[in-house]
Structure 1
Amino acid sequence: MSGVDEGDETDRTEDPTHAGTDADAGANTDPDPQTRRKPVVVVVEPETPGNVGTIARAMKNFGLSDLKLVDPPELKEDGEAYGFAGHAREDVLPNADEVTFDEIVANYHTVGTTAITGEDDQSHERFPFKTPVELRESLKTVDAPTAIVFGREGRGLNNEELSQLDEVCSIPADDDYPVLNLGQAATVLLYELRDLTVDETQLPDTAVTRAPEPDVERFHEFFGDFLEATGQREHHRDKNALLVRRLLGRAHPTEREIHSLLGTFRKANVKLEHADHLAAKYDEPVYPRE
């Protein structure tokens, strides 16, 4: 993933890495998040308590709770970590386990994270690598305890550590500055994995139910009457009617949208008809025609 630096940057010649969570991804058919194993998140030798708190908060945001720390700094309840953790201070952070790197390797399907990757297959530690989206799709087929492993702020995971992990993930970023802050990198990756970890979000259902076809056809009739009442030549009316039909075909209007349009054009047609009636009654010119 785009590199990890404490809150600063990581020298691109060094070994910046991110690592991740033990993502228990799920079965081959992408089961419901409630039944799929969720990844654990591992942070190797974090230097700044605030970054640990930020990662805990990102975990809470995206449905994860199991945080494991390798040789962490002291996390005081009145310190940075708890200050940055938000509501994760209530569960994710106080329940974090201190583990060794070897324990993670021995017990999980592991995904290491790094900003700097090998450009070809000559760099076996860092190649091949997956983007977060590719990792999400890959983990859908993994039915095993999974750990996403993030590295140190200044150096990330080194090549020896990456060589012991099963997969490598990197966040695509601008080549001039691909290294992300550790907390930022974790947030980006966990966001992209949310389909594997979040049961429901605060966002409403965005599924759109297309209006019934009879209502849509009634709109086209009203629109045709409108075009005729405005005095357009027949070939222009036919062309414009077709364009509007194509437009609605792509738009998939809802029932409410179609009913609003029906009401608008019904009123417009009534007024145009009334204008024609008055023009005929008082021998006035009708609405200018082409």
Structure 2
Amino acid sequence: MSDADVDAEESDADADAHTDTDSDQRTRREPVVVVVEPETPGNVGTIARAMKNFGLSNLKLVDPPELAEDGEAYGFAGHAREDVLPNADEVTFDEVVANYHTVGTTAITGEDDRSHERFPFKTPAELRESLKSVDAPTAIVFGREGRGLNNEELSRLDEVCSIPADDDYPVLNLGQAATVLLYELRELTVDETQLPDTAVTRAPEDDVERFHEFFADFLEVTGQREHVREKNALLMRRLLGRAHPTEREVHSLLGTFRKANAKLEHADHLAAKYDEPVYPRE
């Protein structure tokens, strides 16, 4: 085997190793979701559904209620009833603490640096950025519906996350909190979305200029005074300049104003022919 062949094989091996490393790292960064002593099966199903929405699959439950296949949990889970929910593991809180980098969730409490159980906390967006650099198995830990995680439990977890909300009612229910938080973490767990190409391609400038010509004709046939036409034409140019319309959007507008102008001109023609009053003018 030539030196070139050896170098090529080593290069391919390095590339494969790099790909494997990236894949392993991404797997490590996909958090598991832990729910401590959930009281309502429906909330477990809601969390499983949110996990399915945002690319997570590993659900762990501490002292869960019975999750009957014909019950609320499976009814609320959507397509997560097929995998996330039936594959959920029952674990202890001690096992979670021992095996994961843990993030506890809590409502905003107004506490400061004199209370370290719930302070400092990260928002979901801040947590997303923080977890990008965490190369360890991670668990997002949610508490009970009515009282959440207690201070003793929070003191055993590595980080705290809280969702900012209105002071008058800052407490989200368990399913809502999980959905908001997992949505914010989607960059770590979802490669692509169901959305098509979101890049906006602005319509060709000659099409845009044709639209402005049609709009100018429209202003004229509606009988506006010259200074008003000039002002409205400039307003439309500024509006369209900010909007960056697509080719399809401009073509739709062109068709609309073409028909409007033709009808207005025809109305003027008929009014003149039969000596009828024209539509009101300024």
TM bracket, shorter-chain basis = 0.7 to 0.9
Is 1:69 the counterpart of 2:67 in the alignment?
no
Counterpart position of 2:208: 216
Counterpart position of 1:112: 104
Is 1:134 the counterpart of 2:126 in the alignment?
yes
Match of 1:147 among 122, 126, 139: 139
User: For residues 78 and 263 of structure 2, what CA distance do their matches in structure 1 show?
Assistant: 59
Q: Which runs of 5+ in 1 are unaligned?
A: 1-30
Counterpart position of 2:256: 264
Instruction: Please give the residue correspondences for 1:1-290 in structure 2 after superposition, counting only pairs within 5 Å.
Output: 35=26, 37-270=29-262
User: For residues 43 and 238 of structure 1, what CA distance do their matches in structure 2 show?
Assistant: 63
Counterpart position of 1:22: none
Q: Which has the higher mean CA deviation after the structures are superposed, 37-46 or 205-214?
A: 205-214
CA drift of 1:230 comes to 4.2
CA drift of 1:185 comes to 2.3
CA drift of 1:38 comes to 1.4
CA drift of 1:114 comes to 0.8
Distance 1:232 1:166, change over 3 A: same
**1:62·1:194 contact (CA, 8 Å) conserved in 2?**
yes
Q: Percent identity?
A: 92
CA drift of 1:42 comes to 0.8
User: For residues 176 and 230 of structure 1, what CA distance do their matches in structure 2 show?
Assistant: 52
Distance 1:239 1:194, change over 3 A: same
CA drift of 1:278 comes to 7.6
**RCO higher in structure (CA 8 A, sep ≥6):** 1
Tell me which protein shows more helix as a share of its residues.
2
Instruction: Write the letter of the residue equivalent to 1:143.
Output: D
User: For residues 75 and 289 of structure 1, what CA distance do their matches in structure 2 show?
Assistant: 71
CA drift of 1:149 comes to 0.4
User: For residues 223 and 72 of structure 2, what CA distance do their matches in structure 1 show?
Assistant: 72
Q: Deviations over 1:151-205 (max 9, x none)?
A: 1233321222212222211123343443333233222322333333233444555
Instruction: Write the letter of the residue equivalent to 2:156.
Output: Q
Query: Over aligned residues, Cα RMSD in angstroms?
Result: 3.3
User: For residues 197 and 80 of structure 1, what CA distance do their matches in structure 2 show?
Assistant: 27
Q: Which has the higher mean CA deviation after the structures are superposed, 73-82 or 131-140?
A: 73-82
User: For residues 268 and 73 of structure 1, what CA distance do their matches in structure 2 show?
Assistant: 65
CA drift of 1:51 comes to 3.0
User: For residues 94 and 158 of structure 1, what CA distance do their matches in structure 2 show?
Assistant: 28
Q: Which has the higher mean CA deviation after the structures are superposed, 107-116 or 273-282?
A: 273-282
CA drift of 1:98 comes to 2.5
CA drift of 1:147 comes to 0.9
Distance 1:35 1:267, change over 3 A: same
Structure 1 length-normalised TM? 0.73
**2:108·2:163 contact (CA, 8 Å) conserved in 1?**
no
CA drift of 1:274 comes to 6.1
Structure 2 length-normalised TM? 0.75
User: For residues 222 and 78 of structure 2, what CA distance do their matches in structure 1 show?
Assistant: 61
Q: Deviations over 1:253-278 (max 9, x none)?
A: 22122112223333444555667778
Distance 1:83 1:275, change over 3 A: closer
Counterpart position of 1:8: none
